[in-house]
Amino acid sequence: MRRLTPRLYNALHSGLWPWLCAACVALSLLMLTALLTLLITRGLGHFWPATLEEVTLVSGDVVIGQPVREAPLPNADSLERLYFTGNRDITGANWRWVAIEDIRHQTVPNDLIRLERSPWGDFLGRLTAVESEGQRLTGQEAWAFVNNTLAKPASQRPAGQLLLTTADGQTLYQSLDSVTHFQTPNAMSWGQKVVTWGQRIWQFLSEGPRAANTGGGVWPAIFGTVLMVILMSVIVTPFGVLAAIYLNEIAHQNRLTHLVRIGVRNLAGVPSIVYGVFGLGVFVYGIGGSIDSWFFSDELPSPTFGTGGLLWASLTLALLTLPVVIVATEEGLARIPDTQREGAVALGATRLETLTRVVLPMATPAILTGMILAVARAAGEVAPLMLVGVAKLAPQMPVDGEFPYLHLERKFMHLGYHLFDTAFHGEDVQAAIPLVFAIALLLVLIVLALNLTAIFLRHYLRRQRGNEC
């Protein structure tokens, strides 16, 4: 086989690698775009008022439901359609498969309603009458009363109940205070659907969870996630920066220092659950148990700090992300030319002044880069939190109006764990799938917002340093 000449080899080499690199970048952007598109369409689509259908089958049965998807029947050429039918307290299930060939008639009536209620989830059917304060309202009066009453909080509603009718003609009485949301999606205009869609997104962001985390909002999880990441950043940044300064600026560069660097880099690859076990044994049972025996002996055997909480979760994730901050900061310090240090010393600056006024300001972008990487990793970690403080449902927020206002010993909710719990531990996994996409999208946006904050701060400091120069 004839060998390539050096000129031909260089031409192929210089032409192939740029295209290969560009293809990798394009593939990465394509996968990222596909992920975000999936999360946005499936997540935000969960809040859109979906159309309800009334389907009459060949057998005479009537089904009222929201069409979800179609799938081929096993060992057949026809399709079957999955409907969300609600009414779990009546039928025992929220879903029903209907063969397409069994559908005789299909309509979209405007009088179909969808109620979100507690504790039985959604009701799909018709509103027959309203009974309140000795009066029985029907027709347009019932509709007007429902629209005006259900817009108020449950505590401000009058006593009464709704008379509802299911697809098969069964009657159901539903108390007004148990209804959380009411809509008639088929009768809504496009503008009304947009308004309702926005209201449901706001409720998702501002309310607490209900119905075993398959309904309601995620505000406690948002608050817990952001607060934990902030506390973790406040804890890890000083320790990481000081450790990097010692390794790069103070310690003698010998074999021991080299081994310490290798150890720090290896710690960055340790599985996160190992840090969770360490936090449980050292922080929770060790330090927390000692604090309880010293200061909260009257509360024992119910632990105060000797159980998982916000403080121990923040410390565990700070330990988890400490190697990332150390490595990023040390690399930033190593890139600063020695001439900068020598020039400061030649002008009469002490070693401390050189470090604080010359070296650290120049290494600030690297420090913030380490914080960005730490935040990105800590915000999505779930495994260690399951051992040191996260809860399926936290009845009390870590911050309230009682002294000392910030309660570090309390358990908290986290979006990552909430996502895991909703996906695998809910009563109805099929109904939780759209909510899982919505929570995943929210978690991505929160991590992005935290990272952008650090990026903008890094850019601002770089620009300030450039103006000073």
Average pLDDT of span 132-157? 82
Residue 5 has pLDDT above 70, yes or no: no
- pLDDT 10s digits, 81-98: 999 998 888 888 889 999
Q: Based on the domain organization, do 354 and 338 belong to the same domain?
A: yes
Rounded to whole angstroms, the Cα distance separating 464 from 245 reads 23
Rounded to whole angstroms, the Cα distance separating 379 from 221 reads 12
End residue of a domain, out of 84, 107, 130: 107
Location of structure tokens 């069964």: 170
Question: Cβ distance 423 to 399 under 8 Å?
Answer: no
Q: Based on the domain organization, do 223 and 309 belong to the same domain?
A: yes
Q: Based on the domain organization, do 101 and 122 belong to the same domain?
A: no
Q: How many domains does the chain have?
A: 3
Q: Based on the domain organization, do 359 and 379 belong to the same domain?
A: yes
End residue of a domain, out of 88, 107, 126: 107
End residue of a domain, out of 107, 128, 151: 107
Q: Based on the domain organization, do 410 and 376 belong to the same domain?
A: yes
Indicate which CATH number applies to the domain containing 225.
1.10.3720.10
Tell me whether residue 262 is in a domain.
yes
Of 35-39, 346-350, 463-467, which gets the smallest average pLDDT? Answer: 463-467
Tell me whether residue 3 is in a domain.
no
Tell me whether residue 150 is in a domain.
yes
Tell me whether residue 294 is in a domain.
yes
Of 5-14, 317-326, 327-336, 437-446, which gets the smallest average pLDDT? Answer: 5-14
Q: Based on the domain organization, do 275 and 378 belong to the same domain?
A: yes
pLDDT value of residue 242: 92
Q: Based on the domain organization, do 295 and 159 belong to the same domain?
A: no
Q: Based on the domain organization, do 93 and 126 belong to the same domain?
A: no
Question: Which residues have C-beta within 8 Å of that of residue 133, sequence separation ≥ 6?
Answer: 158, 159, 160
Tell me whether residue 30 is in a domain.
no
Tell me whether residue 167 is in a domain.
yes
Of 128-132, 138-142, 253-257, 297-301, which gets the smallest average pLDDT? Answer: 297-301
Cα dihedral angle (16, 22, 24, 29), rounded to 10 degrees? Answer: -170
Compute how many other C-beta atoms are within 10 angstroms of the C-beta atom of residue 252: 6
Residue 8 has pLDDT above 60, yes or no: no
Q: Based on the domain organization, do 301 and 345 belong to the same domain?
A: yes
pTM over 0.95: no
Q: Based on the domain organization, do 97 and 146 belong to the same domain?
A: no
Question: Which residues have C-beta within 8 Å of that of residue 415, sequence separation ≥ 6?
Answer: 218, 221, 222, 224, 225, 439, 442, 443, 446
Range of the domain at 142: 112-188
pLDDT value of residue 232: 92
Tell me whether residue 269 is in a domain.
yes
Average pLDDT of span 288-317? 87
Q: Based on the domain organization, do 152 and 269 belong to the same domain?
A: no
Q: Based on the domain organization, do 250 and 384 belong to the same domain?
A: yes
